[in-house]
Structure 1
Amino acid sequence: MAAKTALNGSAEAPAQISTLPPVVGINFGNSYASIAVFTKEGLAECIANEDGERQIACAIAFQGEEMYIGNQAKQQLVKNAQNSITGFRNLLGKKFSEISQSENNSSAPVIQHPDLPDTPAYKVQVLQPSPSPLPAGSNVTSPAASHAPTPRSEPVPVDRILTVSEVNTIFLKSLIESAEDFLGKQITGTVISVPSTFTDVQKDALEKAVSNAGVKVLQLLDEAGAAAATTTTAEWSTENLSQDRTQLLVDLGSSSVSLNILSVREGLTYSLASSHTSSVGANDIDDKLIKFFAADFTKKTKIPLTVCPSSSTVDQRAEAKLRLAIEHTKRTISASPGAATCSVESLKDGMDYTGSINRMRFDMLGSPIYAAVAKEINSLLASAAMDPHDIDEVVYIGGTSCLPGLNDRLCIEVGLHEDIETPFARGTVVGGGLGDPTTILARGCAAQAALIDSIQEDEIRAAFGRESKANEVSATTKTLGILFPNDLPENKDLGGTWIPVVQKETALPVRRIVSLDIALTAESKRVAFEAWEVEEGIRVGTVIPPKTSSEEDEDEEDEEPEEIKHRTLTKTTLLGSVDTQAKLGIQTKGKSQDAGKWFTTVEVQFVVGIDGGVDIELREVGEGGVVERIHVSSL
C-alpha cells in the first residue's frame, strides 16, 4: 500500500482577516448624511460611498428601471422631480395628517397611503421588468406550440407606493453597504445621530427603519453627544485648549438652527442649555445666492428668470440647476479666499451661464442669516444666565457652518472673547481637517459604536439605551476649591490664594485630585487651608484707550471708552477647614532662591457624590505623612 504524499504548501493566498470593529457611525441628516468607521490606526474617519462621496445627499430617485441614491439622485430633481424623493428623514414617525404639504415641494409629493390609514407615502413611476422569455421547446398548453423562444416584451410603467419608513430603509441600507465594502465584513451594529427635536415616536420609527435594513441599533445618540464624543478625544486637544471648558455647538442645518452649550470637564460633558429654531436655516443663504446668480444671468442675456419662488416650469428647472451648482460654489468659498464660480449648462432657453462671486459679496448676501444666528445665540446665553465670555470654544456642525464669514460675524456680534477657540482659529476646517463640520457627528458616532461594541457586560451595555436612568445626570452648580489665607494684595478679594478643584457644571459623581508643593516655616511646619464653594461671575468695566503719538497731534474728539470684562469669584459656602502639622517636610539645599526653605508635597482630593455630598481629603505624599479628612453632607 503506497503512502500518501503530504502536501507542501497551498496555492491559495492566505485570507486577510480584518481586525476593525464591525460597526459604523452614521450622521443621518435631513439633507445630507455621512458614515464613519474605526480604522486600524484607532481613529474614527469618514469614508466615501461607491461614488466617492463623503457628503451623501439624502435623496432617492427612480428613472425607468434604475434607482439612484445620493448625489446622483439629487441630479434627477432637474427633469425628474416627480420621481425623486428628498427630505424623508424628518417625516419618520409622523402621521399624514401631521405633515404640512409645504414641508416638501421640490420633489415627489407626500400622499396618503391608499391602504394604510393616515400613513404618509410617496408615489413614483417605475418600469417593471417583464418576465423572461420562455425557453425553446417549453411544454406549453398551446394549440400551435412553437420551438422558437417567446419574444421578450418591453418593460411596463407602473406606479410604486413607498412608505416613509421604506424610503428611509432603502437609503440607510445603501450607507451600510458602503461601510461593509470598506471594512470587508458584515456590519453588526450602528450608532446614529438624532436631533434633539426627535420625539420617542420618531426614534422608534428610525430604529425600525434601521432594523429593516438588517443592522442592530447600538444607540441613538443625540447630536450634541455625538459632537462631544469627537471633541473630547486626544486628537482634538491642543495646548491652548483646557480640559475644563465651556463649549458652544452651532449646527446650521438646511431649514433650522440648533444650538447647545456644553460643559466639558476632563472628558465628561454636561448639557447646560439648548435651543432649536426653524425660522432661519442654510436654505435662506441658498435662496439669496440663487437670486444673485439669476439676476446676473438676466443682466447678461436679457432673458427673464424668476426664482425663489419660480413662476413657471422652465424657471423651476433653472432654479433646480442653480441649486445644484451653488453647492460647489459654497464649498469653494469655504476653502478659498478668492472668488468662486457658478457654471450651469443650458440654464434657460439654451443659454449657458457662468458667473462668479467673491467672499465679500457672499458674506453680504448671508449677512441677515449670520445676524439671525447670532441673535439666537445671544438669546440662548441670556436664558442660561451666561455671559459670552463664559464660552471657551465654538464647534460648528454641518456643511454651511464651514463658511469663515459666519465664524467672523458670530465672534464679533455675540461678543466672544478674542482668544476664543474655533476650528477656523486652529486651521482644521479646510481640506477635511479634524474640525471639518461635515464629519464631526459621524466620527463621534463611530467612536461611540466602537466603545459599545467593546463592552461585553450586558448591564453596562444597557446603560446606553434610551430608557436607562444613567442618562439622568446632575452637576455641580458652583466651583469647589481650597483657599490658603494670606494678605497678598492680589488676593484681597478672597483673602488668600484660591485653587479651584471641581469646576462648576461638572457631571456627578466626580473625583478630582490636585497636587501642591506647600512652603513651611522652620518652626511650626503648619499646613492650613479652607475649603469653599464659590460663585463665578463677570464684572464689566470701562477704560479709555490710550492715544498714539499720531493721534495726539490731530485735533480729534475724545475716544469712546471701551468695555472690559473681568472674571470674579465670590465666596458663598464654607465647607470646612484643615489646620495640621506636616510630618515629611524637607529643607531645600543648594544656591537657589529657595535654598534653606522648607517644603512638603500634599494631595487634596475632592469627591462629590450623586446626592451632592462632599468628601475632602488632605494626604501628605510619602510614607507616614499626615492625613486629614472633611465630610460635608448634601449641600
Structure 2
Amino acid sequence: MTESAGAVIGLNLGLSYSSIASINPHGRADVIANEDGERQLATRIAFNEDQVYLANQATPQLVRNAHNVIDRFVGFLGRDFASLTDAEKQRSSSPVIDNKGVPSFKVTIAGKEQTLSAHDVTVRFLRALHQTARDFLSGVPIAGAVIALPSQAFGDSEKQVQALRDAATEAGFIVLGLIPAAAAAVVAYNLTSPIPASLHSSSASASGSQSYREQLPTHSDAAEGTAGAGPASSSADNATYTKGTELDRTVLVLDMGGTSTSFTLLSARAGLFLPLASVFDPSLGGQQIDNALVSHFAKEFTKKTKVQLDLNTNARAAAKLRNEAEVTKRSLSASNSAQCSVESLAEGIDFSGSVNRMRLDLLAADVYSKVQERVKEVLAKANKEACQVEEVILAGGSSRLPGLVERLTYLFPEEGPSPTRFTASIDSDQVIARGCAVQAQALVRLSPKSAERTHSAELLLKPSSTQTVKVLSRPIGLVVPSSSKANGGAAQDKRLVDGALFVTLFPARTPLPARRAFRLPLASSSSSGNIILSFAEGTEQIRTDKVAPAPRDPEDEDDDDEEEEDEEVKTAFVKPDSDRLIEVSVPLSGGAKSVLIELVAQANGSISVEAQAGDAGQKVSAQIEGSSA
C-alpha cells in the first residue's frame, strides 16, 4: 500500500508511559485517545486468568495481582541480563528473570505459567497501540510511523535500536524513522524551521517579492504542533522570537519521565539540530516525587487513624497509595491543591487527604535540586553558560510542575538582550509523540528517490550511523557602530565591544551550505551617498557584571539580617576580530529605510554577499573566501 493511501503516525514508546499522535485534517499533530478517552497510556501489561489488561487498565492489577503485571520492559530490548543494574531489577511488579541470558518475565496466563522475553512483551504492547491507532482513525490504514527512541536509555546501542525496530515491525508498524526523543520534542514546535515561501499568503506583490522576515518562524508557542510549518496566526498575543534568533538558537530539552530524566543541549540552525551535550540520570524521575507523596500520605494516615502503616511490608497498601499519589501529582500541575483518596488503605480503614503545591514543593525539594544540578552538568559538558541558552523545552509529565519550572528559571536569564524562553505550550506528556507525527508527515512528503528519503532509509538499516557535516567553527557577522539603529539601544550596551556591536549572521556550528538574511535599519538622515558594511569573524565570550540589590524598605530591615551581596549577571556576546573579512560599499537610494543583506555560505567555506538599499537600490555583490569552516 502506498503512503498516500493511509495515515502516518508518531509513537512515543516511553519507559513508563506511551502515546500516539497523528496528523489531523487541519495539518495539526494530535495525540490519539484510546477507547477510554485516555491519551497518556501506561507502558504496562497485566494478565489475570484468561484476561489481558493493557496500558492504564493494567495499573489496578498492581494492587492484588502484581506478580502478573509487567512494566519497565522497554529498556531491556536488545540487552543481556548480565547488563542490568540492581536498580533495574528492583520492582513491585513481575520480577525480571534470566532466561538463557535474555531479560524475561514469568507470568501465569489462563492457568499456565509462561515466560515472556522483553521482546515478546514489547510486541504485544505495540500491537495494542497499533490497534488503538486504527480504531481512532476509523480503519484508515497506517502507512508508516516514526518512533522516538526512549530518552537516552538506548544510548548509542545499535543492538537496542535495531531491537526496537524489529519489535515495531513485528507488531505491524511500517517504520519510517527512529529519532531521539529530544529531537522529536524540538520538531513538535518546528523550532527554527523557515516557513517555505509557498506556504505564505497571497499578500505578496505580483512580482513575488516578499519581506525576508516573512519567511522566518514566529516563536513556537504561537503556532505549535503544526505539520508543514505554515504561517502562524497574526493575533496580537502571538509570541515572537527576539530579533536575530529566529533561525539560530541553542536549546535545552528537559525530558522528565517516570523513572529517568534526560537533559539534551542542541544547536538548532534553520531546522537542523546538532547535539552539543547530553546527561541521562536513570534514577531521577517523576517516581521520586511520587515516593515523597506516598511517604507523606502514609504518615498522615497514621496520624489520623493511629494505625501504623509500613509500606515495606504492606505491598497492597503501597500499590494503592502509589496509584492515587500519581493522580494527585498530576492534578497539582494544574491546580493549587488536590485530594488523595484511597478505599480500605489498611485494616479496612479509608484514607482521604489533601496537599497543596507549597507542600509538594517542600516534599520534592531534593528532586528539584537534583534536576538543577543535572542542568548545570549538561551546560558544563558543552562548555556553555546559561545565558547562552535561548530556549528550554519541557517534555515529560513531571517537568511541568510549577515548582520545578520556577526553580529552573532561577538558572537562566529572564531579562537582557536575549532572555531564555521556557516553551511548554504543547502538553509535555504529548510533545514527543506529536513531534514524531510531524516528522513522519515530513518524510512521506519527500520524493521516494530524494537524497533525504534515501538517507532516512539508510539510517533504519544502520541506526547508529552518522553523516559528517561541515560546520562553521566560528561566528560570522556584521560589525555595526554603536550609533546604528541595529544596536537596539541601551539593552545592547553590555554586548558592545569598542563601541560596536557584532550582529551574528552565521553562528558557530552552522551546518554548510547555509543562507541567512538581515535587514539593517538606516538613520533618517541617510538619504544619499554610500554605507560601508563591515563583515568579520568573532569569538564567543561571556561578560560578568555585579549588580547591586534593590534598596530595602526601611520598615522591613532587621538588625540581625546579613547584608545582601551583589548579584552576578552574565551576558553572552561576540567579540569581532580586528581584521575584517571584507568591507562592502552599498549606494543609498533616496528614501531607503534599510539595507537588505543576504549571505550564502558554501560547503567549502566561501561566502557570497549581496546587499541592496531599499527595494529600488543598486544590488552589490561580493565574495568572502576561506572562512573558518
TM-score bucket (shorter structure): 0.7 to 0.9
Whether 1:299 and 2:312 are equivalent positions in the alignment is no
- For residue 499 of structure 1, report the CA deviation from its aligned partner: 3.3
- For residue 571 of structure 1, report the CA deviation from its aligned partner: 1.4
Specify the code of the residue in structure 2 equivalent to 1:38: I
Q: State how far apart, in whole Å, the 2-side matches of 1:624 and 1:557 are.
A: 63
Which residue number corresponds to residue 165 of structure 1? 119
Whether 1:455 and 2:446 are equivalent positions in the alignment is yes
Structure 2 SS opposite 1:587: coil
Q: Deviations over 1:281-316 (max 9, x none)?
A: 222211111111111111122221122xx13xxx11
Matches within 5 A, 1:77-156: 77-100=62-85, 102-104=87-89, 105-113=91-99, 117-127=100-110
Which residue number corresponds to residue 72 of structure 1? 57
Q: State how far apart, in whole Å, the 1-side matches of 2:321 and 2:553 are.
A: 53
Q: State how far apart, in whole Å, the 2-side matches of 1:378 and 1:258 are.
A: 13
Which residue number corresponds to residue 61 of structure 1? 46
Structure 2 SS opposite 1:463: helix
Matches within 5 A, 1:229-378: 229-232=187-190, 235-236=223-224, 238-242=238-242, 243=246, 244-307=248-311, 310-311=312-313, 315-337=314-336, 339-378=337-376
Q: State how far apart, in whole Å, the 1-side matches of 2:557 and 2:278 are.
A: 51
Which residue number corresponds to residue 476 of structure 1? 472
Which residue number corresponds to residue 420 of structure 2? 420
Structure 2 SS opposite 1:512: strand
CA contact (8 A) 1:101 1:110 kept: no
- For residue 383 of structure 1, report the CA deviation from its aligned partner: 2.2
Which residue number corresponds to residue 164 of structure 2? 206
- For residue 249 of structure 1, report the CA deviation from its aligned partner: 1.2
Structure 2 SS opposite 1:77: helix
Which residue number corresponds to residue 196 of structure 1? 152
Q: State how far apart, in whole Å, the 2-side matches of 1:326 and 1:377 are.
A: 27
Structure 1 SS opposite 2:97: strand
Specify the code of the residue in structure 2 equivalent to 1:271: P
Q: State how far apart, in whole Å, the 1-side matches of 2:309 and 2:524 are.
A: 83
- For residue 382 of structure 1, report the CA deviation from its aligned partner: 1.9
Structure 1 SS opposite 2:79: coil
Whether 1:609 and 2:605 are equivalent positions in the alignment is no
Which residue number corresponds to residue 214 of structure 2? none
CA contact (8 A) 1:520 1:526 kept: no
CA contact (8 A) 1:56 1:71 kept: yes
- For residue 477 of structure 1, report the CA deviation from its aligned partner: 3.8
- For residue 601 of structure 1, report the CA deviation from its aligned partner: 5.5
Q: State how far apart, in whole Å, the 2-side matches of 1:394 and 1:163 are.
A: 38
Q: State how far apart, in whole Å, the 2-side matches of 1:204 and 1:581 are.
A: 56
CA contact (8 A) 1:21 1:453 kept: no
Specify the code of the residue in structure 2 equivalent to 1:241: Y
The change in CA–CA distance for 1:267 and 1:579 in structure 2 (over 3 A counts) is: closer
CA contact (8 A) 2:527 2:589 kept: no
The change in CA–CA distance for 1:576 and 1:347 in structure 2 (over 3 A counts) is: same
User: How many residues end up aligned between the 2 structures?
Assistant: 558
Structure 2 SS opposite 1:586: coil
The change in CA–CA distance for 1:41 and 1:118 in structure 2 (over 3 A counts) is: same
Whether 1:539 and 2:494 are equivalent positions in the alignment is no
Which residue number corresponds to residue 589 of structure 2? 586
Higher relative contact order (CA 8 A, sep 6+): 2
Q: State how far apart, in whole Å, the 1-side matches of 2:514 and 2:389 are.
A: 22
- Indicate the larger mover: 204-213 or 240-249: 240-249
- For residue 175 of structure 1, report the CA deviation from its aligned partner: 0.9
Structure 2 SS opposite 1:341: strand
Structure 2 SS opposite 1:482: strand
CA contact (8 A) 1:463 1:470 kept: no
- Indicate the larger mover: 549-558 or 76-85: 549-558
Give the TM-score, by structure 2 length: 0.82
Q: State how far apart, in whole Å, the 1-side matches of 2:521 and 2:358 are.
A: 54
- Indicate the larger mover: 177-186 or 84-93: 177-186
Q: State how far apart, in whole Å, the 2-side matches of 1:581 and 1:122 are.
A: 73
Q: State how far apart, in whole Å, the 1-side matches of 2:41 and 2:496 are.
A: 58
Q: Deviations over 1:42-71 (max 9, x none)?
A: 000111111221110011111111101011
CA contact (8 A) 2:584 2:622 kept: no
Which residue number corresponds to residue 199 of structure 2? none
Specify the code of the residue in structure 1 equivalent to 2:252: L
Q: Deviations over 1:488-534 (max 9, x none)?
A: 89797245454332233433321112234556999982232221112
CA contact (8 A) 2:479 2:576 kept: no
Q: State how far apart, in whole Å, the 2-side matches of 1:395 and 1:625 are.
A: 43
Q: State how far apart, in whole Å, the 1-side matches of 2:447 and 2:103 are.
A: 40
Which residue number corresponds to residue 631 of structure 1? 624
CA contact (8 A) 1:269 1:507 kept: no
Q: State how far apart, in whole Å, the 2-side matches of 1:386 and 1:110 are.
A: 40
- For residue 119 of structure 1, report the CA deviation from its aligned partner: 2.2
The change in CA–CA distance for 1:275 and 1:613 in structure 2 (over 3 A counts) is: farther
- For residue 485 of structure 1, report the CA deviation from its aligned partner: 5.3
Q: State how far apart, in whole Å, the 2-side matches of 1:241 and 1:579 are.
A: 29
CA contact (8 A) 2:586 2:611 kept: no
Structure 1 SS opposite 2:333: helix
Q: State how far apart, in whole Å, the 2-side matches of 1:350 and 1:554 are.
A: 53
The change in CA–CA distance for 1:605 and 1:573 in structure 2 (over 3 A counts) is: farther
Matches within 5 A, 1:391-410: 391-410=389-408
Structure 2 SS opposite 1:381: helix
Specify the code of the residue in structure 2 equivalent to 1:177: Q
- For residue 21 of structure 1, report the CA deviation from its aligned partner: 4.9
- For residue 403 of structure 1, report the CA deviation from its aligned partner: 0.7
Identity of aligned residues (%): 35
Q: State how far apart, in whole Å, the 1-side matches of 2:33 and 2:7 are.
A: 17
Structure 2 SS opposite 1:170: helix
Q: State how far apart, in whole Å, the 2-side matches of 1:377 and 1:553 are.
A: 35
Specify the code of the residue in structure 1 equivalent to 2:474: K
The change in CA–CA distance for 1:87 and 1:197 in structure 2 (over 3 A counts) is: closer
Which residue number corresponds to residue 437 of structure 2? 446
Structure 1 SS opposite 2:433: helix
CA contact (8 A) 1:388 1:417 kept: no
5+ unaligned residues in a row in structure 1: which ranges? 1-17, 128-156, 429-433, 589-598
5+ unaligned residues in a row in structure 2: which ranges? 192-219, 225-231, 233-237, 485-489
Q: State how far apart, in whole Å, the 2-side matches of 1:446 and 1:487 are.
A: 47
- For residue 623 of structure 1, report the CA deviation from its aligned partner: 7.2
Q: State how far apart, in whole Å, the 2-side matches of 1:603 and 1:538 are.
A: 29
Specify the code of the residue in structure 2 equivalent to 1:326: A
Whether 1:501 and 2:499 are equivalent positions in the alignment is no
Whether 1:34 and 2:19 are equivalent positions in the alignment is yes
The change in CA–CA distance for 1:329 and 1:493 in structure 2 (over 3 A counts) is: same
Structure 1 SS opposite 2:447: coil
- Indicate the larger mover: 625-634 or 559-568: 559-568
- Indicate the larger mover: 23-32 or 508-517: 508-517
Which residue number corresponds to residue 187 of structure 1? 142
Q: CA RMSD in A?
A: 3.0
Q: State how far apart, in whole Å, the 1-side matches of 2:609 and 2:83 are.
A: 55
Specify the code of the residue in structure 1 equivalent to 2:180: D
CA contact (8 A) 2:502 2:576 kept: no
Q: State how far apart, in whole Å, the 2-side matches of 1:352 and 1:438 are.
A: 31
Specify the code of the residue in structure 2 equivalent to 1:587: G
